Amino acid sequence: MGQVLDGVRVLDFGRYVAGPYCATLLGYFGAEVIRIERPGGGEDRFITPVTEAGEGAGWLQMGVNKRSLTLNPTKPEGREVVRRLVATADVVVANLPPPSLVAMGLDEASLRAIKPDIIPVLISSFGADGPWAARGGFDGVGQAMSGAMYFSGTPEQPMKAGAPYVDFGTGMFAALGAMAALMERRASGRGQTVQASLLSTGLTLFNAFLIEQAVTGIGRVGTGNRVQTSAPSDVFTTLDGHVLIHTVGDGLFARWCDMVGEPDWKTDPRFAGDQARGDNNAVLCARMADWCATRTVDEAVTALAAAGIPGGPVLSPQQALDHEQVRATGLFQPVDYPGLPRPAPVAGPPVTLSATPGTIRSRPPLVGEQTDAILAELGYGTDAIQALRDARIV
């Protein structure tokens, strides 16, 4: 069965999460992805090591369906390899500051001089313009500068989310942009540049709260897990763990009142509407805390489901791996890799297509595993490849 991006070649110059994950998403749906990294392997290969050689958990997720070419693109011989690669490619993904892009020949002007219809996907920390355009950053900076970190913790302790959602969100947005640019190129023959940034992603995901602040000047401060615009919506302690409940809308609130034995609260003026309930969340959350305190996690989530109220257990990483619903999704696919004690549960495509589904077709490559093969495809002979190795270009 063919896939949506069959025949598309993607060059992945990305590092850490946003750029590599963009390329990974394209690879799920059939694109040929070549990961270009420095000789010895990029630094993002070795974060959270899990293999005998020290490769990291993130690399196992980001590296599937890719081929690996090691390269030093800052030297003339390396720039020539880049030139030949770009001439064969459709999409170039790079998340580097503008000066680094120029030094490596990956800026828009350099790429278009090689292939006019190329689609550069350029991912930065703070965007292409503005006084911070040349600065680097990571996921946490995007969380911090969006307002989300301030709002997620407490006034005494802002709290970053453990999951790097800004990184992954930026990769997703960049992949969406790449797909749109490929569609336009198929229609018109014209390539275009896709820009994405961690800051733009963070601001986009937190936009509703920023709109509220701009329009009303309300000046909210963080209240941890407790939601301020509805109630009861918080994390509550049970006899053997914790559950999260989110009650929004009059219908859910009425069902919640019946579940906890407070039917009169359905007509109580203190709780007339989501914001009123949010303003009086101390009363509602205290009642929910009492209700949860006499039940186990399983008893609580079973009762919530029976009442039609959204809620779920707060799971540890191992509990998440073992949970029956997580297993039923089929998201995780076992991927073996040299030096792993057992196959790794790697998340496949986060979206499914009924006719042309994305797939994990190959394990992540070892450092430079396909270097010789890729160089040969570009027209380098055996002696020329050896010369590049001797000069530490590859």
Pairing assessment for the beta strands 242-246 and 233-237 based on DSSP bridges: antiparallel
* Tokens 């257990």 found at: 313
- Cα 29 to Cα 183: distance, rounded to the nearest angstrom: 14
Q: Give the residue from 139, 136, 121, 130 showing the smallest Cα distance to 198.
A: 139
Contacts of 244 (CB under 8 A, 6+ apart): 225, 234, 235, 236, 311, 312, 313, 314
Instruction: List the structure tokens of 208.
Output: 């509703």
The CA-based angle 132-137-140, given to 5 degrees, is 120
- Cα 291 to Cα 139: distance, rounded to the nearest angstrom: 37
Contacts of 166 (CB under 8 A, 6+ apart): 139, 140, 142, 143, 146, 198, 201, 202, 205
Helix ranges, 12-90 (H): 18-28, 57-62, 76-88
- Cα 172 to Cα 174: distance, rounded to the nearest angstrom: 5
| Candidate list 167, 234, 264, 336, residue with the active-site label | 167
Q: Is 167 one of the annotated active-site residues of the chain?
A: yes
Give catalytic residue positions: 167
